[in-house]
Structure 1
């Protein structure tokens, strides 16, 4: 997704960078400038540790960044719109569109549903199971629905890709975190009973609904 967004040499804004994993991926590609925006001061501080002197991080909401109009070439959102209601989703996409320069790109990677014509009853079942498991009102959508949310704000989707839902699978964990990180994760689960029960419950939900859950990434361009 980041390669498709063409972040090298660009002014990049990342919304809700969390602990900074995607920030590191962006910085490894050599942007001209990096700005992270997170409403959580602790998360912003964590990302700043990752960024160092290669960019800045400000504390603000993704729907009201305070950044100037048309000040970014690329805006990135990694797994954050899924956790928002419909109104908040639209407000965040609108803010991304405002911040982008003409021709700029908006790149998102979110939790998706499949197939495209999935029934409302299955959608509701999956969303309720996720909410019970991760304690957040997650609202995944089909790739077509994610595309529609983005295009509603004058952005043209240029690329869409999907992948099987692999979160919390051992192979995926090692790929994402490295062997040492995966071992630390496993050790924490062994010694922290509450965390272990929560992660196992999340994994159970992902397994039960693996036929309906996917990852969705897309890149859209501002006209």
Structure 2
């Protein structure tokens, strides 16, 4: 099972461990900002079928990947640059046409126009502006004409927020989760996708309630929540980090949200 494998960052002290891997190590399986609710909206719009060739960037602990695989796509390729994370991915791949390709999302080394669907979740937020653009352009290169690209990320609202306040929130998030975090506004996400050769077909926003009890119960179920709370009760250093992350999310709840887009590759003129 994936949760029995060593996860990235496990040999780091809790105060320095990236927030998403810290949460995974205490049993959190849903690490996406909009929870299963927004993941399911993205997957519904992508409408994966048995004729699709699917590529997923940075699948992490792989909950979305496992949902995708139940739809029995023609092929599935995970692109993961972390070797430990790749081992987790390999633990749930069980088909002849399911592979994990170790490389970066901005330069996958895969062929052009080989996919009908590409998607990623909670990874573009943690990239620089340049890297965001490179990854989205790589998705465009991998897709056939009219292929679809789905993203599920954190966003800062409203779109006309003061730029200084946006930068401050990005700074606080980075310090809190111990990993670079540069969420964009909904307008900025849309503009970036357009600039990289996509036209928007679907957009939805949800509250960023990743660590709120009601969302956790919805995402993890009673047994999953019990496991998480038990780990928090017995690991005070981890509990301190998690509560600090939740406090920051709550402090900026008026300006933090989750967003998903499903976009279509524009035909070359």
**TM-score between both structures, scaled by the size of structure 2:** 0.80
Report the Cα offset of residue 8 of structure 1: 1.7
Where 1:167 maps in the other structure, the secondary structure is coil
Q: In the alignment, is the contact (CA less than 8 A) between 1:69 and 1:99 conserved in 2?
A: yes
- Aligned mates of 1:193, 1:31 — CA distance in 2: 43
Of the structure 1 ranges 171-180 and 70-79, higher mean CA displacement relative to structure 2 is found in 171-180
> Which residue number in structure 2 is paired with residue 52 of structure 1?
94
Residues 1-223 of structure 1 aligned to structure 2 (within 5 Å): 1-9=42-50, 10-53=52-95, 55-223=98-266
Q: After alignment, is 55-64 or 208-217 more displaced?
A: 55-64
1:2-25, CA deviations, whole angstroms, 9 ceiling, x for partnerless residues? 110121221110000011111012
Question: Please, what is the CA RMSD of the aligned residues?
Answer: 1.1
Aligned positions, number? 223
Structure 1 runs (4+) deviating above 2 angstroms are 51-54
Preserved contact between residue 23 and residue 51 of structure 1 (Cα < 8 Å): no
Q: Higher relative contact order by CA 8 Å / sep ≥ 6: 1 or 2? A: 2
Superposed CA offset, 1:65-96 (max 9, x none): 11110000000111100000001101100110
2:204 & 2:86 partners in 1: Cα distance?
29
Indicate the larger mover: 16-25 or 53-62. Answer: 53-62
- How far the C-alpha of 1:174 sits from its partner, in A, is 2.0
Q: Quick one: distance in 2 between partners of 1:38 and 1:2?
A: 20
Tell me the TM-score normalised to structure 1 length: 0.97
How far, CA to CA, are the matches of 1:153 and 1:82 in structure 2? 16
SS in 1 for 2:78: strand
CA contact (8 A) 1:62 1:95 kept: yes
Aligned mates of 1:73, 1:16 — CA distance in 2: 18
